[in-house]
Amino acid sequence: MLGPFARGQGATAGSIPGKPDLRVLSERPLNAETPAHLLDDAVTPAARMFVRNNGMPPDTRGIDRLEWTLELAGESCVRPTRLTLRQLQERFEHQTLQLQLECGGNGRSEFSPSVPGNPWTTGAVACPRWTGVRLRDVLDYCGVADDAVYVAYESADTHLSGDPERQPISRGVPVAKALEPESLVAWAMNGAPLEPLHGFPLRLVIGGWSGSVSGKWLTRILVRDRVHDGAKMGGQSYRVPCSPVAPGATVSDGNMCIIGSMLVKSLITFPESGACRTFGEAILVRGHAWAGDLGVRDVFTSIDYGATWQHTVLRPPANRLAWQQWSTWVAPPEPGYYEVWARAVDDNGVSQPVVMPAWNPRGYLNNACHRIALSVT
């Protein structure tokens, strides 16, 4: 039996083709997360990458992907134009980076009082290797006016209502984030063309921020002279109270601020929660840690509910904005039931909280520690 905080375990697998082990949270739109122990790879394979949709993915069967057209536009785009995927590949330097994406609502199921939205436990995070061109090279080609504020996307997915005038989601990031060298317009994941659920044939990849800004099925990039006002930019979507509120509070729109960088966080991917081990045997424990725009300085583990913490061995990231692998050996002092906790600390010295942090109306940014159960006999 697991303690009340050993989250994300006991997966009921769904039935997504190519992703047999994912846990389906909603069918329409399709959303599915990955049990923690199935995220053990340093580079997340497509089969184990979470699925997050706001609308219905476009039907891209049979298209010529190299003819897919990306429009560059917006008030602050100096030379509005169109580029096919073939032209993108021909005109700009290619870049391959491992970039970590996490849904803004990952961990939402733990909020109390509970909040609406997909009840993600720990599995809406992944770190594949992406190939494409730098968004900043594309933006240079279009020309970014001095008054540019935001870079936003529009996509080919359709609204659940079926209304072609309504976009399911159209979000963006401040210009500075868009211009970072790791922000990509990508056509491949782990060396293969993007899969349909992950944005085939073209998408944005903005590492370290809520996955919602990494627009899939990319059709337009807008250089805006204002904070982007597309679908899911306002109200309670991907926004949290500007100043902390009491759990369950009603928050006015004027006091809601857009989420930027995700927070420091870690995941235990080995062993699987509920694992049994023999007493006397040192137990290998490992996982990943990430910190949004920052690096991870330290990861600690505890087997005594946080009374004491031990350093782990932490590897540098493959590149900036990739998650980092950590591992350690734990040696329970006697047979019995244990919970192993992991706690990461970012480059600024800020730690994951052990439990759910500041409550917010839609349950974003829960970066509480992950815990697994372990039986030693």
Q: Considering the complex, what minimum distance in angstroms separates the CB of residue 19 from its own copies?
A: 31
Q: Is 375 in the site for its own copies (CB under 8 A)?
A: yes
Q: Is 2 in the site for its own copies (CB under 8 A)?
A: yes
Find the farthest-apart pair of alpha carbons in the chain and give their distance in angstroms, rounded: 69
* Residue 70 or 291 with smaller CB distance to its own copies: 291
At residue 277's C-alpha, the angle toward residues 274 and 278, to 5°, is 155
* Residue 5 or 141 with smaller CB distance to its own copies: 5
Judged by CB under 8 A, which of 8, 55, 117, 241 binds its own copies?
241
> Helix (H, G, I), strand (E, B), or coil: what is residue 198?
helix
Cα(60)–Cα(44) distance, integer angstroms? 24
Q: Is 229 in the site for its own copies (CB under 8 A)?
A: no
Q: Considering the complex, what minimum distance in angstroms separates the CB of residue 300 from its own copies?
A: 12
- Residue 292 CB contacts under 8 Å (≥ 6 apart), including other chains: 208, 209, 260, 261, 262, 263, 264, 346
Judged by CB under 8 A, which of 66, 231, 245, 275 binds its own copies?
245
Q: Considering the complex, what minimum distance in angstroms separates the CB of residue 335 from its own copies?
A: 5
**# chain residues binding its own copies, by CB under 8 A:** 38
Q: Which amino acid is at 17?
A: P
- x/- mask, its own copies, residues 95-114, rule CB under 8 A, reads -----------------x--
Q: Considering the complex, what minimum distance in angstroms separates the CB of residue 247 from its own copies?
A: 5
306-325: contacts with its own copies (CB under 8 A):
306-308
Judged by CB under 8 A, which of 161, 227, 305, 347 binds its own copies?
305
Cα(126)–Cα(32) distance, integer angstroms? 12
Q: Is 275 in the site for its own copies (CB under 8 A)?
A: no
* Residue 12 or 243 with smaller CB distance to its own copies: 243
Cα(133)–Cα(205) distance, integer angstroms? 10
The tokens describing 73, both together, are: 């536009």
Q: Is 4 in the site for its own copies (CB under 8 A)?
A: yes
Cα(48)–Cα(63) distance, integer angstroms? 25
Cα(60)–Cα(39) distance, integer angstroms? 28
Q: Considering the complex, what minimum distance in angstroms separates the CB of residue 371 from its own copies?
A: 10
Cα(279)–Cα(176) distance, integer angstroms? 52
Q: Is 276 in the site for its own copies (CB under 8 A)?
A: no
Element (H, E) at 142: helix 135-142
- For the chain, helix (H) and strand (E) counts, in that order, are 3, 26
347-366: contacts with its own copies (CB under 8 A):
349-359
Judged by CB under 8 A, which of 80, 116, 235, 248 binds its own copies?
248
> Helix (H, G, I), strand (E, B), or coil: what is residue 44?
coil
- Residue 32 CB contacts under 8 Å (≥ 6 apart), including other chains: 14, 16, 19, 22, 23, 24, 25, 50, 51
Q: Is 249 in the site for its own copies (CB under 8 A)?
A: yes
Rg, the chain, Cα only: 21
* Residue 58 or 357 with smaller CB distance to its own copies: 357
Q: Considering the complex, what minimum distance in angstroms separates the CB of residue 7 from its own copies?
A: 13
DSSP β-bridge partners for residue 291:
294
Q: Considering the complex, what minimum distance in angstroms separates the CB of residue 308 from its own copies?
A: 6
Positions in the binding site for its own copies (CB under 8 A):
1-5, 112, 241-249, 304-308, 334-338, 349-359, 373, 375
